[in-house]
Amino acid sequence: MAELRRILHVEDDPSIQAVAKVALEAIGGYDVLSCSSGAEALEAVEQFVPQFILLDVMMPGMGGPETLAKLHERIDLQDIPVAFMTAKVQPGEIELLRGLGAREVIIKPFDPMRLASQIRNIWEANRR
């Protein structure tokens, strides 16, 4: 089983992006590519070759679900777990996001000390 190293994180809020990057790199030891828009992620994804994708749901222009659909057109996501991050947790919302192909939904505000282990748990569950 390959070890998780490269995470693509797509988040339009610079402060959330910074906290997640520090949490994943310093605590998790991951190599994180932060993109502030879906369009930026689409440009970078093939060169970065992520093993895991963390997507904000609500972003201006192209939101997380649309970004995920466009990523599907660019790369094979079968072995790349995708998790959405959202503060909007209405009943049915999480099921809807899972229906779009997300393995998990991480609720904002997230705990920076736990984020790396949450990602690792999703990764390991995906490997079974």
What's 75's DSSP letter? S
Residues of the chain with pLDDT under 70: 1
Is 24 domain-assigned? yes
Into how many domains does the chain fold?
1
The distance of Cα 38 from the centroid of its chain, to the nearest Å, equals 11
How many Å apart are CA 96 and CA 94, to the nearest integer?
Answer: 5
According to DSSP, the residues that pair with 34 across neighbouring strands are 9
What is d(CA 77, CA 51) in angstroms, rounded to the nearest whole number? Answer: 9
**What's the pLDDT at 1?**
56
Can you give the pLDDT at residue 90?
82
Q: Are the CB atoms for 10 and 56 separated by under 8 Å? A: yes
* CATH number of the structural domain spanning residue 106: 3.40.50.2300
pTM (two decimals): 0.96
Domain that holds residue 31: 6-127
